[in-house]
Chains A and B, each alone.
Chain A
Amino acid sequence: MDLLNFLLEDFFVTGQPLIYGAMVSIVLVSFAIVFVLTYFKKWGWLWREWLTTVDHKKIGIMYIIAALAMLFRGGVDALMMRVQLTLPGMEFLDSQHYNEIFTTHGTIMIIFMAMPFLIGLMNYIVPLQIGARDVAFPFLNALSFWSFAFGALLFNISFVIGGSPDAGWTSYTPMAGANLNPGPAQNYYLMGLQVSGIGTLATGINFIVTILKMRAPGMHMMRMPIFTWSTLITSIIIVFAFPILTVALALMTIDRIFGSHFFTLTGEGMPMMWANLFWLWGHPEVYIVILPAFGIFSEIISTFARKQLFGYKAMVYSMVVIAALSFVVWVHHFFTMGAGGAVNSFFSITTMLIAVPTGVKIFNWLGTMYKGRIRFDTPMLWSLAFIPCFVIGGVTGVMLAMAAADYQYHNTYFLVAHFHYVLIAGTVFGCFAGLTYWYPKMFGHKLNEKIGKISFWFFVIGFNICFFPMYFLGLAGMPRRTYTIEPEWMPLNVTASIGAVLMAIGFVIFVYNIYYSFRYSKRETTGDAWDGRALEWATTTPVPFYNFATLPHIDGSEAFWRLKERGGSTYETDKLKPIHMPSDSGVPFIMMALMFVASFALVWEWITLAIVGLIGVIVCMVIRSFDYDDGFYVSVDEIKRTEEKAREGEQ
């Protein structure tokens, strides 16, 4: 009886028709998946091919699929918010429900959509671009993915089990502390981010080592493709920034679950320390999600302008400068905390300085198009749309950096408009551009151009209609995170909501295009779908699991372009040697599943179960430590067979 009470009152979220609907659909979809897998006898396939894989390409694809699912979830959250904000006095969501939704929207879009999407693309592309057979630590890579996947799962179940966190993605203390925010909801935020953060940190380390140690012979640092450079710099930011988040989350977890006083009002805690720690990680974080997008745009603009990248060195150095500056600007997120004139002046200037390297990049992209011969395929359209939209986001960012003016913009829709202009025009356009661009490499066919363009125009026009009015809403005094609007803000809010609907249509068309192209697109016969320039286009499509049969000697930047000019190939029969590859392993999946159990228990403060789960994790580590399987060799015969089959279409 007690158990039933607990289940109905605390464990399951009750009383919300929308959430009942979600529960029913979750149960139905789960049954459908189980049924399909069982009916088609696919359980073994799923385990062997996906759950235990250490192949960077498959891991990349899993990241991207998960990120698209999260984009859907975060997008539904966004649409619900737009419905509630369209008219004054709207009763679609109450204040508490609205707060939960904007919290999950922000957290999911940054942590579980933007980052995994980009990490997915990095996973697939970077080893190919540098001529590697996999990442440096394939096992760790699988561990990264499963830690992200289970972290995302943990965060997402909160809305049907226990309630969603409602303290905003920034979760400022003391509001997010145990006193003002009791219950398990906020613990989901802490544990979800903690578990997935392990994976992100590991990914950062993995890519640094991969890029530094596994480049093809002759590929100096200054010959690396620019997307690889952006990945390297991003990884370095990750390695420096994520430990801060890990520590901050751990401190707040200990506060909430074990009653310590790091960020509490009682017992001499320092609530404002959280804001500092959060943004010490949080500001580098936004560069973690923008720099890879910059890399993607550079690749695409150069390919479709059919020219070398303009100012390669300047592009690299500007990314380095941006990365360095990203660690000395965090206070601009709370100029209004009253730190005094000197502090605010310092952080105003450092923040504005970021505009300089970013401006250099913008002009270099324009320079890349100068004297080019521009084709307007869908990936290029996304990249071109990025430039003007991002400039609007960038200049308003400079305006926000001016502390004295920021006292008026802070916490308003002006800020909301700004960061959506940089994050959507930068990161989301970048993800769509990158996915469309590398799609033929990943899946053996292009996405349909016509449908792709329709989806592009819906999304980009919708995006501008949705977010441009928000600048004016901010100047009209509309605070962010309010669940209800004043009558005078209505016209602009109606406009914004119309834009949101157009974006949603664009997204649906994009997803439909995946299905349509799977059915009807022409299959790729060569590995080089767009007349590409970097090494990822040198392999066949589909990419063999060992990536390259042989590696050419790299004698300059744009390795594949040079290879094509002199008629070389990545299949030179006289140079064939057995290839050493890592073995698959089920340990990462099981270990992170146990971590999930432990974290879920911590969310509910069931300490015994948490300890049991953690012991399971440690046992997995021990098993791994005594695992002497150091991979296998692919024989020359097998390489020959694979390559010959894949290259049939070429001649």
Chain B
Amino acid sequence: MKEIYARVKRWAVLPAFALLLLTGGCAELTVLDPKGPVGESQKELIMFSIILMLFIVAVVFVAFTYMIVKYRDRPGRDEKDYDPNHHGNTTLEIVWTVIPLIIVTALSIPTVQTIFELEEAPEASSDKEPLVVYATSADWKWFFSYPEQGIETVNYLHIPTDRAVEFRLSSADSMASLWIPALGGQKYNMAGMENTLYLQADEEGTYQGRNSNYNGSGFAAQTFEVHAEGEEEFRDWVAEVQSEAPELTQETYDELLVPGLLEEMEFSSTHLEYVDHGTNEGRDYLIERHKDAFEEPLHLKGGRGVEDE
């Protein structure tokens, strides 16, 4: 009777877990539903590791349940299977050292492959030159400069689909991290240094991007939208910005650099003409101008973004 009760208890745990998984399933798991080749290869790696890990979890959980049920202290237990002096088994210990080693090897190979793969532009679009976008973070906004097109946007960007985007990442002040989960993983933006991150969208749409690396009181609002659209539409948008947006003078740019939040903006020239924060010369550009502007932190309330205020 007691045995049955124990079994019922064990199985009752499963629906509880299922329920939890279900609630998990309700939220959109952006990372597991990627819209481009970079995110796709990361998703494959993640799924592969999850399956292996679930196997390990299953083995341990089953062995664990077996031990605590079978060897629990209960009246009338067979004295023969109590062995207080049992203290090891070399064969077993070798087995459970070697099997994890094999699993680690199995995980390492695709990991290293993917690591090196992500250092290059995605192969899927190797017939086209990547679009170069300088993504510069400044507390707490994003500047996207398109040097080839001679335009710059603030807190949003347009990219063509089926073509790699080569982000040149840097920061004007604190360290940030450019992350567009629907397209792929992140990389840091650091002042005085330049990182390269390749991403690509295969599907048209608007994706959420953000700084994912905490950098102070405006951190949660340092987000941007990525509009992925066909080559044609992208070119139209570029032409429109080139002809209609104002120029980004150094004076305007310096003002925009003051720590705080900004609306979306666009300009028909880039700040790269006078400063590149990704170089050693550009690393203290902001500090020299706005050193005292960090005295009073932001006190954002409620939801995020300037629109809400």
A residues in contact (CB < 8 Å) with B: 88-91, 94-97, 99, 166-168, 172, 174-175, 179-183, 265-268, 271-272, 305-314, 334, 336-338, 340-341, 344-345, 348-349, 352-353, 355-356, 359-360, 362-364, 366-367, 369-376, 384, 387-388, 391-392, 395-396, 398-399, 402-408, 410-412, 468-469, 471-477, 479-484, 488-489, 491-492, 495
Contacts and interface: CB of A to CB of B under 8 A. Distances in A.
B115 A311 contact: no
A355 B104 contact: yes
Interface string B190-234: 111101100000000000101011111111110000000000000
A272 B295 CA distance: 23
B177 interface: yes
Given A305-B71, A356-B104, A411-B177, A179 B118 contact: no
B196 A484 contact: no
Nearest to B63: A366
Interface of B: 20, 23-24, 26-32, 39, 41-42, 45-46, 49-50, 53, 56-57, 60-61, 63-64, 67-68, 71-73, 77, 81-89, 92-93, 96-97, 100-101, 103-104, 107-108, 111-112, 114-119, 139, 169, 173-175, 177, 179, 181, 184-188, 190-193, 195-196, 208, 210, 212-221, 280, 283-284, 287-288, 291, 294-295, 297-304
Contacts of A313: 88
B298 A95 contact: yes
Contact of B297 (A96, A265, A364, A412): A96
Contacts of B283: 265
Contacts of A340: 119
A174 B173 CA distance: 7
Contacts of B31: 408, 474-477
Nearest to B220: A482
A209 to B, nearest CB: 30
B24 A472 contact: yes
26 contacts: A94-B301, A168-B214, A175-B175, A179-B287, A179-B291, A181-B216, A307-B83, A308-B84, A310-B87, A352-B104, A366-B63, A367-B89, A373-B73, A374-B72, A374-B73, A384-B68, A388-B60, A399-B53, A402-B111, A407-B118, A410-B212, A474-B31, A475-B31, A476-B28, A483-B220, A492-B27
Contacts of A395: 53, 56-57
A468 B30 CA distance: 18
A407 B186 contact: yes
Contacts of B221: 95
A369 B68 contact: yes
B111 A348 contact: yes
Given A265-B284, A366-B67, A408 B298 contact: no
The 4 closest A-B pairs by CB, nearest first: A407-B185, A404-B114, A472-B24, A95-B300
B218 to A, nearest CB: 7
A561 to B, nearest CB: 9
A310 B88 CA distance: 5
A168 to B, nearest CB: 6
Contacts of B220: 95, 482-484
Contacts of A488: 27-28
Given A366-B63, A392-B57, A96 B298 contact: yes
Given A175-B216, A341-B116, A483 B300 contact: yes
Nearest to B300: A95
Given A266-B284, A360-B96, A366-B64, A479 B291 contact: no
Contacts of B101: 356
A314 B24 contact: no
B173 to A, nearest CB: 6
B299 A388 contact: no
A88 B302 CA distance: 7
Nearest to A354: B104
B115 A404 contact: yes
Given A372-B67, A395-B57, 9 more contacts: A175-B174, A179-B287, A265-B191, A345-B112, A371-B82, A407-B184, A408-B31, A479-B179, A484-B300
Nearest to B30: A477
Given A95-B299, A371-B82, A180 B188 contact: no
B68 A374 contact: yes
